[in-house]
Every structure is written in structure tokens, then in C-alpha cells.
Amino acid sequence: MGGNEVRFVHLADTHLGYSAYRKIGSDGINLREKDIYKAFIAAIDYILEKKPDFVIHAGDLFDSVRPTNRAITIALEQLLRLSKARIPTIIIAGNHETPKLKETGHIFRLFDHLDYIYPVYRGAEKIDLEVDGKKISIHAIPHCREKEDFSESLKSAAPDSLSDYNILVTHGAIQAIQVFKMNEFNEYIIPISLISKGFDYVALGHYHGFTRIKNNIVYSGSTERMSFSESREQKGIVDVRISSSTITDFIPLPTRNMIEIGPIDCKDLKPREIIERIKEKIGNRDFRDSIVRLSLTNVDPAIYKSIDFSSINNIFSRAMHFEIRHSIGKEPEQIVPTDIMIADLLTEFEKFLRRGDYKDKDILLEIGKRYIRQAEGEE
Ligand SMILES: [Mn+2]
């Protein structure tokens, strides 16, 4: 490590415990769940090889408020590797692992007593590290149960003039840029003005695509793909070096191929012609072990029914997962990913609202929240 240089790794949105599709391994574990673990472990391998001064995880370590034993075990094992290597690691809570109800308790409490691991989940914290005689302040603002606490913390966060380097880490969608919204109910909006206050680096989590908002304000993106909207994104972590300038190297991680085919316009096509069109489109591409989605548009419902699906499935038989979406009109219909985990009542209620097309979602959520709390209080 160079004399005046500070080096750290920024990662986020590892979503341990996420699973999808039906394929399971010989050990009985969902293959997609294992992919998520693999990506996280690859990130830790990189960190241990490069030995940065510290590590920042910008939220959504876990996919849910109540991760499975397996997800918890993986997290602990990997954090222990960092702990044993004496690499200070700051992990803030994201919206996925933050419970709505205080009494649920926070899974991050598990990490409270691990050496060199700094879980931040009770509210904003400033963590001061000393690296080669330089003072580094990490202003960590996690997702909070109450939006106001989050906003207040963001407002009052400011660089410490006595520190050599100030780093802000938080979790949410940058305001006014629609693309950063994950369309999750409990996501927080971050005004860009509140994070542009002279920090040397701002480590963001929540949005799943690696993005440099500015040279030193960065979304590392997720470590694996959680939906087809991410199919074209490379996944990885950010290796940051700050001295007189800030260098952010994106380090790609090995991930499973996710391939979108189409949309194929089926207007006026007979079922057999649709299959021919699909074959033309894919040529001799190899789909082995990939996650594949085929989109068909302008499909007449009667025609769709008479398509020979077994021959289509045959084409994609080597894929790890294959699905078709079709629409009668021009645009493929929006597909809302289905979550398998059942979380607490309030989270489930939010998910339910999210799936539907309701007006005044915020108000409905507020009212629902009140009733659910009341009911849970009565138990
Ligand atoms: Mn998030």
C-alpha cells in the first residue's frame, strides 16, 4: 500500500438468502440461492487477496428480515474470514433486512461482538478508523424503521474536518433519477444535495447496477442478478483508492448467465412459424446452465394455445431455468417477481400493495401499518 493512499472495497446488495426458480442441487439447495452465496464468497476471496485497509458494505447483506439458518451461517463464516484477517468491515442495514417492528429484533445484532466487524443498524453512526497514522471517518447511515430518522441523519451528516478522509455510506434511491428506484415500498429517496457535502467518497447501496453518479459517488451494484431487468448488467464490487485523486475500479465477479431472447413479434404467425422464428433468432447459441427468458409479442391467444411447447422446451433443455412470457399486444406484460420468503406481516402487506395497481399506496400503507401494529399489540 502506497504511503498516502487509502484503499478499500465497496460492495452492497449481496441479498444472502435470495432464491429463485425451481432447480435444486444434489444437496437439495436451491441453485439460485447457491449462486448468490458463491458471488458473495468470491467478493470476500478478492478482499482477502488484496487486503484493503477496510471494507464497506452498503446494505442488503441479507435478502430478508428473517434470513434462513443457511444464509446466516454463510454470512457469519465469511465475515469471520474478514475478522480474522483484521480487516475492519462496516456493514449498514438496507431496507431488505430492516424489520418494521421494533420487537422483531435485528439480525445484525448477531455481528455486534465480532472483532473488526461494525454492523450499523440502530441508527446513524460515525466510525473512526486509523490507517497508517491517518484518521478515516466513516459516516454510516443505515435504513431506519422511521423515514424521519433517516432523513435527519442524512441532513446532519457532514465531513469531520479533523479527519484525513471522510466517507459516507448509505442505502436508497438517488432522487429524481427514476432508474435508481427498485419500486420497493420501504425504499428511501436520497436527495443528491445531502450527499454532495465534501465527502471524499460516497458508497451507495440499493440500486443493483454498478453506477458512477460522480467520480466519487458510486453504486457498487449487487453481486448477482435478482431479476431479468439486470440481465445485461455486469456484477461485481468496487476497489477504491484515494490519494490526491480517487480511483474506482469495478471488479467483476463470476455470475451465472442470464439471457433474454426477443421480443419476437408473432403477428400473423402460425404456431409452427413461431417456433421457426425462435430457432432463427437463437442460431446455435449454447444455453447450458443459463437462466433464459423468451418474450413473444402480438400473440393471438388461440395461436398461443396451439404452440408445441415441448419442442420449445427442448430447444432450451440445457438451460438452468427457462421461461416464456407472451403478450397479446406489442409490449411484453410486466412481470412482478414473486418472492418466496414469508416475512413479518407488515412486509407481506407491503409486498401485496406493491403488486397491485393502487392509488395512494403510501396512505394505504400508513393505515395498514397502524392496524397491523394494533392487532399485533393485542396478541
Ligand atoms: Mn435495497
Q: What is the pLDDT of residues 288-335, one digit of tens each?
A: 999 999 999 999 989 999 999 999 999 999 999 999 999 887 665 554
The β-bridge partners of 119 are 91
User: Residues 219-226: what's their mean pLDDT?
Assistant: 97
Q: How far is the CA of 94 from the centre of ligand 1 (A)?
A: 5
Q: E strands, the chain, where? A: 6-11, 54-57, 89-92, 117-120, 125-131, 134-141, 165-171, 173-174, 189-190, 201-205, 211-214, 217-219, 236-242, 246-252, 258-265, 291-297, 321-326
Ligand 1: distance of its center to the CA of 63 in Å? 9
Residues of the chain with pLDDT > 70: what percent? Answer: 92
CA of 96 to the centre of ligand 1 (A): 6
pLDDT class of 148 with cuts at 50, 70, 90: very high
Residue type at 112?
D
Domains and CATH numbers, the chain: 6-252 (3.60.21.10), 258-326 (no CATH), 345-378 (no CATH)
Query: Which residues are 19's β-sheet partners?
Result: none
Per-residue model confidence (pLDDT) at position 355? 73
Ligand 1 centroid – CA 151 distance (Å): 16
Q: How far apart are the CA of 89 and the centre of ligand 1, in A?
A: 19
Cα-to-centroid distance, 14 and ligand 1 (Å): 10
**Region 174-184 average pLDDT:** 73
Three-state SS string over 174-205 comes to: ECCCHHHCCCCCCCCEECHHHHCCCCCEEEEE
Q: Which amino acid is at 216?
A: N
Q: Mean pLDDT over residues 336-358, rounded? A: 62
CA of 206 to the centre of ligand 1 (A): 4
When pLDDT is averaged across residues 119-144 and rounded to a whole number, the result is: 96
Residue 316 Cα to ligand 1 midpoint, Å, equals 32
pLDDT bin (cut points 50, 70, 90) of residue 378 is low
- CA–centroid distance, 268 to ligand 1, in Å, is 43
Task: Return the C-alpha cell found at 100.
Answer: 418494521
Q: What is the pLDDT of residue 335?
A: 47
* Average pLDDT value for residue range 79-87: 98
Give the Å distances, CA to CA, from 217 to 44, 105, 158, 252, 301: 22, 31, 15, 19, 48
How many angstroms separate the alpha carbon of residue 207 from the centre of ligand 1?
7
Predicted confidence at residue 178, as pLDDT, reads 63
Helix boundaries (H) for 104-235: 147-156, 192-195
The whole-chain average pLDDT of the chain stands at 90
In the reported structure, the alpha carbon of residue 254 is separated from the centroid of ligand 1 by a whole-number distance in angstroms of 22
